[in-house]
Structure 1
Amino acid sequence: MKSLFRALGLALLCCLVFSANGMETEHKIDLVKVDKSARKMYLIQGNKIVRWYSISLGANPKGHKLREGDKRTPEGRYFLDLINEHSSFYRSIRINYPNETDSKRAEKLGFSPGGQIMIHGQKNGNGPHPSIKRGKDWTDGCIAIDNEEMDEFLSLVKVGTPIDIEW
């Protein structure tokens, strides 16, 4: 009888482990892809787009970010490296800009590369920004989505996820 309970307990434990594992991979996003020209951000699992968002960008969106204050959103491969639950823009997750290449380029040009480029929600206290749904740009170089979408985004995308940003 004792061995029967052990076997049942082990079987139950295996079921829970495999079940939790399946749930985790069900929502694992492998890549975030941003198409600046289309004002769209795609969440990709495997080779499949599982969700997309309309976005707003920096006020000067075309081209790669070169320096602080240029109001551009960087282009290239980056990683999402930090969640900020106390953001001035609802909630946010940081893009690891500048990387080493960006820093060297800015230094060569004699500029600060800037930083603190985020994917974030709406400015706290201002309510929804109507520009997001109309494709208008208003950030200083960040990528903005509405607050409800930001909650969903952070439930699906984890720190360490790569992000490809292109025009």
Structure 2
Amino acid sequence: MRLISVLLVGLLCFHSSPVLALGVNRTVADVITHYGDKVESRLQPRFAFAGVEWPPQRVSLVAFKDTRLMELWALNDGVWQHIKDYRVKAMSGRVGPKLQEGDRQVPEGEYRIELLNPNSAYHLSLKLDYPNAFDRQQAQEDGRSNLGGDIFIHGGRVSTGCLAVGDSAAEELFVLAAMIGEANVSVLITPRDYRFRPSQPLAENAPAWVDDLHDQIANRLQLFPLADKR
């Protein structure tokens, strides 16, 4: 019975957005009231150590598919400062962007947070604006339709097509986004860490524009310079 329950939860993110949990009807304000002090006690020392004011004005999340790592950065006097890392506990797919509904791919590119869901079946969730303008443009040029959607960063440890970061991380990211406004949160999803690792050839059937996308991602990563972590 437990295995069946886990499988059903894992399928939810693939088929639809994280849904309202039974018996729960929270607001974003409720989440801040309940988790705000706890999140601040965990994050404020990190920001202080990095020399960044709390709460920050803008933050960026950088997620790496190959290592299942997500970095939190904050903008400080025009320079991005590294705050902390989160482990991505579950995602699906392979190198390459999401192309259509049902391919179980996590998108690649730069996205914004367009919705906070305080009643997610995965504790808390943040919805990405996939497909963005670039995704739609490339789909039109390729003649593709039905691009899919409902891509979330959420709590828990299971996911298909989304990024599960665990409940504690979801609380931090949700409260942070609510405090500074979703428009001030960007999310860069990359197949690998191009700061330290070279590009790799794509599958032969990959669209020609994917190389350009990865070059754009690699250039964007230069805004977030870390010491070599190998």
TM-score (norm. length: structure 2)? 0.52
Distance 1:153 1:30 in 2: 10
- 2:135 corresponds in structure 1 to 102
Distance 1:120 1:63 in 2: 21
8 Å CA contact 1:36–1:57 kept in 2: the answer is no
Map 1:5-24 → 2, pairs under 5 A = none
C-alpha RMSD of the superposition:
2.1
Return the index of the structure with the highest Cα Rg.
1
61, 67, 71: which one aligns with 2:100: 67
8 Å CA contact 1:59–1:141 kept in 2: the answer is yes
Q: Give the ranges of 4+ consecutive aligned residues of structure 1 lying more than 4 Å apart after TM superposition.
A: none
Map 1:105-144 → 2, pairs under 5 A = 105-107=138-140, 108-122=142-156, 129=157, 138-144=158-164
- 2:168 corresponds in structure 1 to 148
- The answer to whether structure 1 residue 38 and structure 2 residue 61 are counterparts is no
- The answer to whether structure 1 residue 163 and structure 2 residue 187 are counterparts is yes
Structure with a larger share of its residues in strand = 1
8 Å CA contact 1:41–1:52 kept in 2: the answer is yes
Give the 3-state SS of the residue equivalent to 1:26 in structure 2: coil
Distance 1:57 1:74, change over 3 A: farther
Give the Å deviation of 1:159: 0.9
Give the 3-state SS of the residue equivalent to 1:101 in structure 2: helix
8 Å CA contact 1:55–1:145 kept in 2: the answer is yes
8 Å CA contact 1:82–1:159 kept in 2: the answer is yes
Give the 3-state SS of the residue equivalent to 2:93 in structure 1: coil
Q: Deviations over 1:27-78 (max 9, x none)?
A: 3242111111121111101322112100044321321111111111111111
- The answer to whether structure 1 residue 26 and structure 2 residue 50 are counterparts is no
Distance 1:166 1:111 in 2: 23
**Could you list the runs of 5+ residues in structure 1 that have no partner in the other structure?**
1-22, 123-128, 130-137
8 Å CA contact 1:31–1:44 kept in 2: the answer is yes
Deviates more, 1:38-47 or 1:23-32: 23-32
Give the 3-state SS of the residue equivalent to 1:38 in structure 2: coil
Whichever residue aligns with residue 79 of structure 1, its letter is R
Q: How many pairs are equivalent?
A: 131
